[in-house]
A and B are shown apart, each in its own frame.
Chain A
Amino acid sequence: MPMPGLPVQEAAGAAHPLAGTFAEWIWLVPVLPFVGFVINGLLSLVPATRLGPADPSEGGDGHAHVEHAGGTAHDDAHHHPARHPYARLVSLIGPAVLALAFAVTAGIFGVLAGAHAEAPFVRTLFPWIVTGSLHIDAALQVDQLSMVMAMVVTGVGFLIHVFSVGYMQDDPGYPRYFAYLNLFVFFMLVLVLGASYPVLFVGWEGVGLCSYLLIGYWYSDKANADAGKKAFVMNRIGDFGFLVAMFLLFAHLGTLDFVGVGSRASQLTEGGAVVTAIGLFFFLGCAGKSAQIPLYTWLPDAMAGPTPVSALIHAATMVTAGVYLVARSAVLFSLTPVASLTVALIGAITAIFAATIGLKQWDIKKVLAYSTVSQLGYMFIGVGVGAYAAGVFHLLTHAFFKALLFLGSGSVIFAMHRALHHTGSHADAQDMRNMGGLRAYLPWTFGLMWIATLAIAGIPPFSGFFSKDEILASVFARASHSTLADASLLGIPGSALLMVIYVLGLAAALLTAIYMTRMMLYTFHGPNRTGEAERAHLGEAPWVMTGPLVVLGVLSVAGGLLNLPAFMGSLSQTLHHWLEPVTGEAALRITQGEEAHLALGTEGALIGIAVLIAVGGIVYAFMRLKPAVLLPKDQSPEAHGFERVLEHKYYVDEIYDRTVVKPVVGISTRILWKGMDAGLIDGLLVNGSGYLMRGLGWMGARLQSGQVGTYAWVLVIGVLAVLGAFSIS
């Protein structure tokens, strides 16, 4: 029943241990990047000094950057990079606000760690939407989950900002780029720090906006602008689900802030239709934002943006927002086994589906994009089966190694482009068939990317091994004993479903190992295919770019320490315990009150299988793939059969185009606009009544013969008729 709700304050009163501490300054964290956005945004309105041709079709945004290797008419201008007059100032402000935000976040993180706060600390800034029984504050929430996310966003965000200083240095739209990037971090922080669903939604849509702007950053290319629009619209489909879930929440609980929902969630019937609908609609939002089936197709296209953007937005932070949302709504999802199972199942299917596509991609960023989709599926398996800490753990390690992989690929593309650029070649700088043997020229990148590859493949002791293993072990444990196992989805018992998910997860891990090794082999091993002239110009990027890679490399190796498996003793399960105040209760509800522990032997066996599969995948790739016989892109033969289907991504984009886009446009044009609007309403009814009046008038005009004599006759007959009528009555 709707409850007239004032803000639910019971848990966040003045007595909170964080009240009056440094945590009060939490607002500074999002505001700092926003300040950066304002300054850089204003600077971006100053036009770039143009050293190239004055014709705007020649010398504008987007041609002087590194990924336009396929570009056609821009090469003259390439030799005259139009560096922005305020580039130095921007290079300072852009990363500096992030560094400051990171420092503040770290400080508050420390305060939180020392305070042992069980309840979240809510910092209300001002009342936002207040009317009727709706009361939404602009408020930020400090708790264990939000602070972990804020650390990742500001920390990894800072590294990527630094990398961008080098990567984007010659772009004429340099301040605009950093303005967008700062704005993105602002919205991402609002997303993870917001204390209610609507505030989270502000960040949620805001990051979508920045994603749109940054994907289409080089908008002069129609494909890039298309990709940005596609991302925004597909995200909007998800946002529709998010909105409906909020409406349901408000209609049934009367509140939308996390604290209030947490305390009133028990009013919802466990496993009831309402909470299931809420969960499924929220997951529709997640599927949009985190690129899950059926809304994943925008993410590979989003690679049209600059590579650091792909690293920050489309790997480390924004796309994981869906995982964050499920973890944040753990209390709701734990009430609905059906929705939870759906989340896990969709995650598993996405994981394996995207991994198969990743097997046959040639564009180095596309491989990583499908890998991201697949790994996001993994995270949803984790949060779907109620292993919220495991899902968030994988989110963290993935942020490290995937950011490293993307930045590494950026470094490769940077080198490739520079080399191709020197010789004026129009070869594709992102196609792996044009690379090969780069380890000799990019030793640092080579080594660091191998670390990340081993991490993502799940080789111990790299970070990805621990997080993946934790997810798979959780699925396995819950298959035998949990509310999920007792429930059923579409008539299939939950325990069977969970075993299917476990197998799918293993299969996806195998494919991950294979496609990642394939990428490394084709890029760095074997003979070089760039061509003689280009080879001389290949080389490592400047330290401003390699430095962040090294830091991410360290994190990719050591990230596993955050949450070692339970059997490793006192230092283990750090993240798990850390998140307990936020998700612990929900996780326990799913495991029916017990900690889900596997017997040591079982756990050991599971780890053995996982490692075996990962190693097997890498070995298989090394044995089967022959980088030595690969031909450059323009000499490669067309793929056939199933390989062709994979290379075309199962033709999903084409199917969506035929079944959704074209019919909508066709129906709107032909039936609604031309038929209904112009034809029926305007043609028949509006103009029709006009014509009807004109027709009646025409008939009346026929009586008007102009013969005065006729008129006189009519007059006299009329008078006689009236007189006659009178005399009769």
Chain B
Amino acid sequence: MIPEALALSAVLFTIGTIGVLTRRNAIVIFMCVELMLNAVNLTFVALSKLYGVTGQVFVVFVMTVAAAEAAVGLAIIIAIFRHGQTVNLKNINLLKG
């Protein structure tokens, strides 16, 4: 049971990472980040079977933070969209040094 779960989580995480790296749309990237977070959550849950409930507590934490992050992140995306009429990361370089 655990190896399968870990394998799934690895697949999900990789899909999420590749999505973050290759997609240009901020919303999609955001969703990929969520995918990565949940892949990690799956790992935590799976391994809690071995190491006790601490992992499940972490999952609750991660979900809470992810919810907060989604709220802030979406707000930023909307702000950026208002600023430049686009959510394509190619066209956004406000952090340029």
Contacts and interface: CB of A to CB of B under 8 A. Distances in A.
Interface of A: 700-709, 712-713, 716
Top-5 shortest CB links A-B: A706-B93, A704-B97, A706-B96, A701-B97, A706-B95
A709 to B, nearest CB: 5
A420 B24 CA distance: 102
B94 interface: yes
Contacts of A704: 95-97
A112 to B, nearest CB: 90
Nearest to B97: A704
Interface in B52-97: 89-90, 92-97
A703 B7 CA distance: 36
B17 A708 contact: no
A709 B24 contact: yes
B1 interface: no
Contact of B96 (A700, A705, A713): A705
B89 A705 contact: no
B46 interface: no
Number of contact residues on B: which range applies?
Answer: 10 to 19
B89 A703 contact: no
Contacts of A716: 17, 21
A294 B94 CA distance: 75
Nearest to A711: B95
A704 to B, nearest CB: 3
Given A706-B94, A708-B95, A716-B21, 8 more contacts: A704-B97, A705-B93, A705-B96, A706-B92, A706-B93, A706-B96, A706-B97, A708-B89
B20 A712 contact: yes
A709 B97 contact: no
Nearest to A709: B89
Given A716-B17, A716-B21, A708 B92 contact: yes
Nearest to A702: B97
6 contacts: A701-B97, A705-B96, A708-B89, A708-B92, A708-B95, A709-B21
A703 B20 CA distance: 20
Interface in B1-29: 17, 20-21, 24
A712 B20 CA distance: 8
B74 to A, nearest CB: 16
Interface of B: 17, 20-21, 24, 89-90, 92-97
A708 B80 CA distance: 13
B79 to A, nearest CB: 15
Nearest to A700: B97
Contacts of A700: 97
Interface centre among B20, B89, B96, B97 (most CB of A within 10 A): B97
B21 A707 contact: no
B11 to A, nearest CB: 16
Contacts of A706: 92-97
Most buried by B among A701, A702, A708: A708
B41 to A, nearest CB: 19
Contacts of A708: 89, 92, 95
A701 B92 CA distance: 17
Nearest to A704: B97
B95 to A, nearest CB: 4
Nearest to A697: B97
B89 A707 contact: yes
Contacts of A701: 97
Contacts of B90: 707, 709
A706 B96 CA distance: 4
Nearest to B20: A712
B38 to A, nearest CB: 18
A716 B33 CA distance: 13
A104 B14 CA distance: 112
Contacts of B24: 709
B18 to A, nearest CB: 9
B93 A707 contact: yes
A246 to B, nearest CB: 65
A701 B94 CA distance: 13
Contact of A703 (B21, B93, B94, B97): B97
Contacts of B96: 704-706
B16 to A, nearest CB: 11
A701 B97 CA distance: 5
A706 B93 CA distance: 4
A704 B17 CA distance: 21
A226 to B, nearest CB: 60
Contacts of B92: 706-708
